[in-house]
Chain A
Amino acid sequence: MTAVPTPLAPLAAVKRISLWRRYLRRPLGVVALAVFAFVVAVAVLAPWLAPFDPNLVDFRITRAAPGGEHLLGGDSAGRDVLSRLLHGARTTLYGAVITCAAGVLLGVPAGVAAGYFGGVTDRVCSWISDALQSVPGMIVLLVVAAGTGQDFTVLMVALGVFLAPGYYRITRARALAVRREPYIDAARVAGVTNPRILRTHMLRAVYAPIVVQTALTAGIAVGMQAGLQFLGIGSASTPSWGQMMNDGFQTMLTQPLILLWPSIALGVTIAALAFIGSTLADLISVRADQPSRRSRGAVRRELSTSSQVPSGVHVHEVCALRVENLRVGYATESGVKEVVRGVSLDAAPGEVLGIVGESGSGKTQTIFAVLDLLPAGGTAVADDIRVAGQAVDKRALGRSIGYVPQEPMSNLDPCYTIEHHLVEPLRHVHGLSKADARARAREVLVRVGITDPDRVLRSYPHQISGGMAQRVLIAGAVAGRPALLVADEPTTALDVTVQAEVLELLRELQQEYGMALVIVTHNFGVVADICDRVVVMKDGRIVETGAVEQIFRQPADLYTAELISASLDDTEGRHELDELARVGGEDETR
């Protein structure tokens, strides 16, 4: 009885493309990276590349124009500008590395600890971070410079201290989010020590944002450093871009070129770092690329030339919903992935249609295509989609179609009251006055079984329970008296008791308003409870359509029978199973 059908379905061959490989596909990022690599190479090779000693004074080339031996001419003290520029890159990058290292070493451990442990650790670290941010950094840096005999390294470390709150904030936010994940609890239950959790789970989670932050921090550090040098801070014998700009600034009106060279070097380096940072940020935050118009067109062409015959049948003359040969596809690396492959179905006014299937069967994609709510990258092609006899367009949502989503809580905006959620659509879609809209909202709330509608209207989503939130969403969906109500797994996220209430409510409303109700579910118990007719889907196709009694009595398809038998209503309980397995006696251990 317990022979497990081994689910060795071949694992999807997902190619994990490294961040590095994805980065190389971004032209802007590649250019920025190339520029930055060039600056690094110049800095490293400066002693060999520079044609002259950067501090060698030759009065003959004082403010000399570019050309001859001195490619970029000489500065106001008679030193070779090109050589000083090349050596200046060295100073600049050394300073940036010191600053970032100091920022990371201070900010990241503090941020991870504050986010993970919370409480006093968090308060103390956040207080220090806030205090650092409120101190005028430039003045402190000038004081540090004066107090340490203008030691460049100490100065850059001090700058790093001031940039550490940037690291602290992002790591703390990330650590706070990750610490609530069940896998952290699982690690603690598995006996993993706190330091080890911090080193593994936490560091892995904050790694990517830190890389981004470092590229941006390096840009800031380079700019700040040049500013300090411009003010004359730092050793005079070490050539630097800021110093060169100061020098050029004195003769800006007569010899603008002397100011121009270090400015270009500085500007290009900072821009390169900023672009590297923003490209990385893009890659990390955006998971699915917005498909281009061209790729959507390609998906559409491929879907419309698909030779597959539509699955499913039409049974009604007058339909609240009629879908003819619907196909939904997503553009992937390896061509178009079709998730709905030719679906035809219909629902009459006053009928309850169930769309049933396992996850991945395409049942949700089908109704998302009807609602025009497909996620980014999804393209739908159909011969015809009609709601209440009319072709569906954006205006149909809220007027002729009502929608009850799966997750009640995530479908209410926490920033707005329930009143706002219910009244706004009535005013804008149905053109009701504010008072009328409020009266209607109150009326439907009472209808969906909410006993104190005025309090609920004033509440924010976090102040009501999940079951109440689902009632509010149903109220919103039916407030516009739609011809078709679509419910996507409306009870999956709810307890059985609340599920029964919601199903009862849907049934009552559907009969009262004479709507067609399309309900998507994986649970045949829900189907038996509420549906008149069922469409069974598998792998994007309809395998069977029929009246509920007939489907349950005599499923035509093996897959339907399998789904029905998966419900545990009449299966053997543990005691019977133990007896069957002849491990009897164990059940009487107490």
Chain B
Amino acid sequence: MTAPLLAVEDLVVDYRLHRKLSLRALKGVSLSVGPGECVGLVGESGSGKSTLGKAVLGLAAVTSGRITFDGTDITHARGAARRRLANDIQVVFQDPYGSLDPTMTIGEVLAEPLVAAGSRNARAVVAEMLDHVRLPADSVHRYPSEFSGGQRQRIAIARALVRRPRLIVCDEPVSALDLTTQATVLDLFLDLQRETGVSYLFVSHDLGVVRRVCHRVSVMYQGEIVESGDARTVTRTPEHPYTQRLLLAAPVADPARQSERRAVWLALRDTA
């Protein structure tokens, strides 16, 4: 068993709503991601799954607990230490519209992390990355508004990859896309992981998506992990009643089976 790349231990995050009132978004969560592994984090909105991703990225302040990356404590990394982490940890956000600056060309968007790192051959790397995510090379001169949602998400993935990180936090990266586009973008995630050995912390509310890309899955409910384990088990035969309800709530594209599932879901809902 190799040492995990990312380890989260007993993490607590509070959001301050008012001067006196605060909301505990994470109530002592532990999780690990190994090298080249994809770990899924599933739950409904408000379950704290995105907060965990933000805490790893340094975008949410940690109240207590520890986050270690490759053996180094990064729980409270700030300033220069946090910027150095940009070499290793990157992000792909959900919103393919808001995550690209509309006033920048794709070339500028992709070069930004490289320029921030003081790289000199940014142009060559950008061209290579566009090819990696299967976008035409002339995209560099175009603006985000000229691309469809799926294409923008490819650009966001390319931006996450240009520094050759070891971990990418994917925060609902396909939930804003059409199902057909979603399938191709998921395949891209898989291919890139095989090609580069990058690890993913994959946040999603969709068990189907998670089954497709993740090796292991943790299910979150109200700031706590209620079930974790092998993706096959958790996404097909879950043990925790919440996960079972979550699984049954997603409609399947088969009228006969869906009506059976719905009946089971209704029964489960009424007993819960």
Contacts and interface: CB of A to CB of B under 8 A. Distances in A.
B251 A523 contact: yes
Contacts of A119: none
B166 to A, nearest CB: 14
B37 A589 contact: yes
A500 B87 CA distance: 41
Nearest to A360: B148
Contact of A573 (B82, B89, B232): B232
B83 A191 contact: yes
Contact of A205 (B103, B116, B178, B232): B103
Nearest to B178: A358
Contact of B149 (A359, A564, A586): A359
A101 interface: no
Given A14-B145, A573-B232, A2 B151 contact: no
Interface stretch (A290-298, A453-461, A525-533): A525-533
Interface in B112-157: 112-113, 116-117, 134-136, 139, 142-143, 145-151, 156
A327 interface: no
Contact of A6 (B134, B148, B246): B134
B83 A193 contact: yes
B191 A2 contact: yes
Interface in A537-590: 548-549, 552, 562-564, 566-575, 577, 581, 583, 586-587, 589-590
Interface range for B = 35 or more
A529 B262 contact: yes
A12 interface: yes
Nearest to B265: A500
Interface string A341-382: 000000000000000001110000000000000000000000
Interface in B30-45: 32, 34-38, 44-45
Contacts of A586: 36-37, 215
Interface string B1-45: 110100000000000000000000000000010111110000011
Contact of A496 (B134, B188, B249): B249
A12 B147 CA distance: 8
Contacts of B103: 204-205
A565 to B, nearest CB: 8
Contacts of B95: 182
Contacts of A358: 178, 180-181
A528 B251 contact: yes
A5 B93 contact: no
Interface string A1-32: 01011111101101010000000000000000
A151 interface: no
B258 A4 contact: no
Nearest to A181: B98
Given A11-B139, A182-B98, A191-B84, A566 B134 contact: no
Nearest to A547: B255
Interface residues of A, number: 71
Contacts of A257: none
A304 B188 CA distance: 43
A590 B159 contact: no
Interface string B52-73: 0000011100000000000000
A568 B112 contact: no
Contact of B44 (A11, A497, A570): A497
B164 to A, nearest CB: 13
Interface string B195-226: 00000000001111101111110000000000
B259 to A, nearest CB: 8
Interface string A185-211: 111111111001000110011000000
B254 A496 contact: no
Contact of B184 (A4, A523, A587): A4
Nearest to B211: A573
A182 B144 CA distance: 14
B249 A499 contact: yes
A186 B205 contact: no
B251 A4 contact: no
A187 to B, nearest CB: 6
Given A182-B93, A590-B37, A187 B112 contact: yes
Nearest to A568: B208
A522 interface: yes
A571 B98 contact: no
A522 to B, nearest CB: 5
Nearest to A361: B178
Q: Which residue, B86, B101, B156, has most C-beta atoms of chain A within 10 A?
A: B101
A117 to B, nearest CB: 14
Contact of A8 (B136, B149, B216): B136
A204 B136 CA distance: 26
Contacts of A201: 101
B231 interface: yes
B187 interface: yes
A464 to B, nearest CB: 13
B150 A7 contact: yes
A528 B254 contact: yes
B76 interface: no
B237 interface: no
Contacts of B178: 358-359, 522, 566
A261 B103 CA distance: 45
A500 B208 contact: no
A305 B159 CA distance: 47
B75 interface: no
Contacts of B211: 568, 573-574
Contacts of B135: 8
A495 B45 CA distance: 7
B201 to A, nearest CB: 13
Contacts of B147: 11
Given A4-B134, A575-B215, A563 B101 contact: no
B117 to A, nearest CB: 6
Contact of B258 (A191, A192, A522, A525): A525
A503 interface: yes
B212 A185 contact: no
A14 B144 CA distance: 11
Q: Which residue, B194, B205, B214, B254, has most C-beta atoms of chain A within 10 A?
A: B254
B90 interface: yes
B83 A528 contact: no
Interface in A152-194: 181-183, 185-193
Contacts of B230: 575
A53 interface: no
A129 B152 CA distance: 40
Contacts of A503: 251
Contacts of A583: 194
A204 B142 CA distance: 17
A383 interface: no
A186 B209 contact: no
B150 to A, nearest CB: 7
B265 to A, nearest CB: 6
Interface string B159-176: 100010000000000000
A241 interface: no
Contacts of A500: 248-251, 262, 265
16 contacts: A8-B135, A11-B139, A182-B95, A183-B98, A188-B59, A358-B181, A359-B149, A359-B178, A496-B205, A498-B44, A500-B262, A528-B258, A563-B180, A567-B252, A573-B231, A574-B215
Closest 8 pairs between A and B when the two form their complex, measured CB to CB: A191-B86, A525-B251, A190-B113, A568-B208, A524-B253, A500-B249, A566-B179, A191-B83
Interface of B: 1-2, 4, 32, 34-38, 44-45, 57-59, 82-87, 89-91, 93-95, 98-101, 103-104, 112-113, 116-117, 134-136, 139, 142-143, 145-151, 156, 159, 163, 178-184, 187-188, 190-191, 194, 205-209, 211-216, 230-232, 235-236, 245-246, 248-258, 262, 265-266
